[in-house]
Amino acid sequence: MPRFTIQQIHEKLEASPVVPLFFHAEAAYAQKLLDACYQGGLRAFEFTNRGANAAATFAQLSKHVAANLPDLALGIGTIYRPEEAEQFLDLGADFIIQPIITAAVGEVCKRNQVAWMPGALTPNEVYQAHILGADIVKIFPGDAVGPGYIKALRGPMPQIKLMVTGGVQPNEANLREWFSAGVNYVGIGSQLIKKAEELGVAGFTAHIEELIQIVKNIRGR
């Protein structure tokens, strides 16, 4: 059984709707980043499956999260095949994120009762992901379409939970554009990780706290 129900994943994202996405080959460095995000108030983190030793690193992070960060949902991203999904679920992944839609991956998630977040771009892809059972649809790459596209999608598809990744900037002006357009959540990769390198652990933790407060202010919550 998963550590968190799908409803609990939604609740975590509602409370802190910024999701870092990150890969690093060294588990110790990735662990420091996880700790800083957690201390800053984030409760969902995507580790991306992009390196030869991603599974081994993820396994170490999963053990660290289970032992030390009990409220953090640790997901795995860049999943294409159902066997990859099975592998990372066995290693403790709390949710699965894809850059594309793979129905068989959705079936794995459904069978294991974990949140499935496939990537889509066109209105048809967004709707197909939804009817296949996606809990959240990831709009990717966001910088290819912009906030205006999200606003247009919201007309015919107001009910679908959307998370945009690709091109999201960790600052108030850009976050306001995306959330005002109608996204539920945002995923931020390299632009956020650069802040960790620039600010150090303590400064990065404070930056995360600031981002969460910015989003709360934007959403009026």
pLDDT for res 18: 97
pLDDT for res 42: 97
What is the topology classification, in CATH, of domain 6-215? TIM Barrel (3.20.20)
pLDDT for res 208: 96
pLDDT for res 109: 98
pLDDT for res 90: 98
Closest CA to 78 of 93, 60, 62: 93
Q: Cα separation of 111 and 32, whole Å?
A: 33
Could you tell me the residue ranges of all domains in the chain?
6-215
Closest CA to 45 of 37, 53, 57: 37
pLDDT for res 118: 98
pLDDT less than 70: residues of the chain? 221
Q: Cα separation of 45 and 93, whole Å?
A: 10
pLDDT for res 194: 87
- Alpha-carbon 184 to chain mean position: 11
pLDDT for res 197: 85
**Global pTM value:** 0.96
